[in-house]
Amino acid sequence: MKILITGGAGFIGSHLAEALIGRGDEVCVLDNLSTGSLDNLNHLQPELGFEFICDSIFNERLMGRLIERSQVVVHLAAAVGVKLIVQQPVNTILTNVRGTEILLNLAANSKQKVLLASSSEVYGKNSKIPFTEDSDLVLGNTTKSRWSYACSKALDEFLALAYHKDYGLPVVIMRFFNTVGPRQTGAYGMVLPTFVSQALSGKPITVYGDGQQSRTFTYVQDVVQAIMGLIDTEAAVGQVFNVGGIGEITILELAQRVKRLTNSDSPIIKLSYDEAYQEGFEDMRRRVPDISKLNKLMGFKPRVNINTMIQLVAEYYLTHMRYYGKKQAAGISLSV
């Protein structure tokens, strides 16, 4: 199968490309490297059937050619990370909405199957837990740029489902819940790699707010298996699926586990959201998925628990990040 992955040099995309190549698919990755990295793909460059193109999803002529020669498009290209979203709201909206519009319009010409990456952020301030795919989306005020990402991804979903209804475009919506694992960077506000990096380097582990906000984390390989299953399952077309893990943990408890599992001496400190982001920043208190729909469709069951996720992220940092030395590596606890 010939598969195009937009944003494929990113964290999730690179793992997906690796798995698809591993099962014998042909994979083309398109990425402008604004947040992705070639380091994530270097090991794939010699592989038969793999191609990387450094360009933008806004290049309509190129996108048209790439989509036309593909059987499936996995659309992962997006502005990601809370810090980036708060700092660059215009870029967030244009990248997510305009980029998706271009892709859907081009794919509609030849009816390629499109898997669209969305986010648990679309549930916004809905307090009814766990979130099911038909739960209401409750977004904050438009004066809070923090909600621009959630709004843009919700609009992406509306647009994709409209293309499915009006033009018969086979689309599948995937709402990811806090995906973590090797290759993820904390540069844009991702919490687990940030905590692990701080713990390994002896810096304070910074918890925002009171730390009682909770999340459900999903290991990247579990996410990849879900995506591959949705690629292969025709019954998924026209539907929305939560792709998430199991088990809820507060951010403060996550910091404590990172500190313990890395044998770190780093203190855990709390910062207000105003200090971390901007005045009046709002956050979701809980973010927990109901994944029964995906389980019923294809037997999806997350396999990796949070302690193992922490261990694997820490091992990756110690192996790949040159600024961590043997002293820190010797201190890693492998017990989970």
Does the residue 269 lie in any domain? no
Does the residue 261 lie in any domain? no
Beta bridge pairs of residue 210: none
Q: What is the pLDDT of residues 116-136, one digit of tens each?
A: 999 999 999 999 999 999 999
Q: How many domains in the chain?
A: 1
Q: What is the CATH number of the domain that holds 98?
A: 3.40.50.720
Does the residue 187 lie in any domain? no
Interatomic CA distance for residues 77 and 201, integer angstroms: 31
Instruction: Determine the pLDDT at residue 322.
Output: 55
Residue 186 in tokens: 């904390």
Does the residue 209 lie in any domain? no
280 C-beta neighbours (distance < 10 Å), count: 12
Does the residue 326 lie in any domain? no
Q: What is the pLDDT of residues 300-316, one digit of tens each?
A: 999 999 999 999 999 99
Does the residue 200 lie in any domain? no
Instruction: Determine the pLDDT at residue 279.
Output: 63
Task: Give yes or no: 316 in active site.
Answer: no
Catalytic residue selected from 123, 149, 163, 219: 149
Average per-residue pLDDT for the chain: 91
- Are 85 and 148 within 8 A, CB to CB? yes
Interatomic CA distance for residues 81 and 83, integer angstroms: 6
Query: Which residue did the predictor score with more confidence, 220 or 145?
Result: 220
Does the residue 320 lie in any domain? no
Does the residue 193 lie in any domain? no
Collapsing DSSP to helix, strand or coil, 214 comes out as: strand
Query: What predicted TM-score, i.e. pTM, was given to this entire model?
Result: 0.93
Write the CB contacts of 90 (distance below 8 Å, at least 6 apart in sequence): none
Q: What is the pLDDT of residues 194-248, one digit of tens each?
A: 999 999 999 999 999 999 999 999 999 999 999 999 999 999 999 999 999 999 9
Residue 15 belongs to domain spanning: 2-180+218-243
Q: What is the pLDDT of residues 20-71, one digit of tens each?
A: 999 999 999 999 998 899 999 999 999 999 999 999 999 999 999 999 999 9
